[in-house]
Structure 1
Amino acid sequence: MSRIRHILIDGYNVINQWDFLKKLKDENLEDARDKLVEMLQEYAAFKGCSIYVVFDAHLVPGSVEKHERVGKINVVYTKEGETADCFIERTVPQLVKMGAVAVVTSDYLEQRITLQMGGIRITPKEFLLEIQNIKTTIKERAKLPFKEQKSTLEDFIDKDILEKLEKMRRNL
């Protein structure tokens, strides 16, 4: 599988799937949104991908589509009458042209539509495990002395591109 370049996240869907965010949402919805975006910062930096967190505002009268950049995260609030699913379905085909796209949602229909458009589906539970694994990896690397922290081109480049570069190096 090629490296994921773009991730679209159904924000409220994820908040309602992760117990700790769901509890936080019950106390203060804005805090739950902020916590989700905060958790994604480190992930985005480590993975080097663009992340869009999409929040429904379709029931907010008079709302217009709003885009914010919070660190490395693109936060999108949909316009009145448009769900996060609609925004995601409209955006996946555009992003697929630029590289692998993943959609994080537990909505089965949305997962199927994503797959049909050439995207990758990730459940909120799978994504939380991925975030936790990355956090562990970062902590382990931080413990290593600087000289032992090895970062190679192979860690960041798609396998196909790496093979092409190797052929060029060998003049094949």
Structure 2
Amino acid sequence: MEKNRWKPKEYLFVDGYNIINTWESLRSLSELSLEAARNELIEIMAEYQHYTGIIVIIVFDAHMVKSNSGKKEKIKGVDVVYTKENETADHFIERTLDSIGRIKKVRVATSDWMEQQVVLGRGGTRISSRELEVEIQNYKKLIKNKSKKKKQINDLIIGRLDEETIKKLEKWRNSEE
């Protein structure tokens, strides 16, 4: 049997605007375009989800938008939630934690201290926006190092081939394109 089959799913709820307002790169981008900052956060979290296997849910406040009924969509494999009128991202996350927090492994990324305390009380764990940023940077370094090592191995293998074999492989590769 596959080893990961029995591993419980892990969820990471991301308080979207909290992260955008605390990560310098996203805050700077949001001053130019909030939509661009949201898209960049979604891109970063999609990559994170891909490499970690953790299910990411990004929640954006839309509680100040009149007659807003909320919206959920999947973008690049990441669940993106825009809350409904009179519902903050915190409320959405808390409500969801009430239903799954003690059954599933759930982390919430926010630097809102009050929200962190509520998360802990409802069975989740918290990660600050800064801790998440560092975790993502560490994953990127790990991936870069793995790619670099793989390239070195490939270069070493190709270095062992004679010139005639390399030419044949290049000719074969070019005919495939």
Is 1:104 the counterpart of 2:86? The answer is no
Shift of 1:94: 2.4
Structure 2 segments unaligned to the other structure (5+ residues): 1-6, 154-177
| Higher relative helix content | 2
Is 1:37 the counterpart of 2:42? The answer is yes
In 2, Cα distance between the equivalents of 1:108 and 1:40?
A: 22
Match of 1:160 in 2: none
Runs of 4+ with deviation above 6 angstroms: none
DSSP-derived class of the 1:46 partner:
helix
Structure 1 segments unaligned to the other structure (5+ residues): 149-172
Match of 2:166 in 1: none
TM-score under structure 1 length normalisation: 0.80
Amino acid at match of 1:139: K
The sequence identity of aligned pairs, in percent, is 42
In 2, Cα distance between the equivalents of 1:98 and 1:5?
A: 10
Shift of 1:42: 1.4
TM-score under structure 2 length normalisation: 0.78
DSSP-derived class of the 2:95 partner:
helix
- Give the greater-gyration-radius structure (CA): 2
Match of 1:91 in 2: 96
Shift of 1:4: 7.0
CA contact (8 A) 2:73 2:79 kept: yes
- Number of equivalences: 146
Q: Determine which structure has greater relative contact order: mean sequence separation of CA pairs < 8 Å that are 6+ residues apart, divided by chain length.
A: 1
Shift of 1:83: 0.4
Match of 1:122 in 2: 127
5 Å matches for 1:23-172? 23-145=28-150
Amino acid at match of 2:32: E
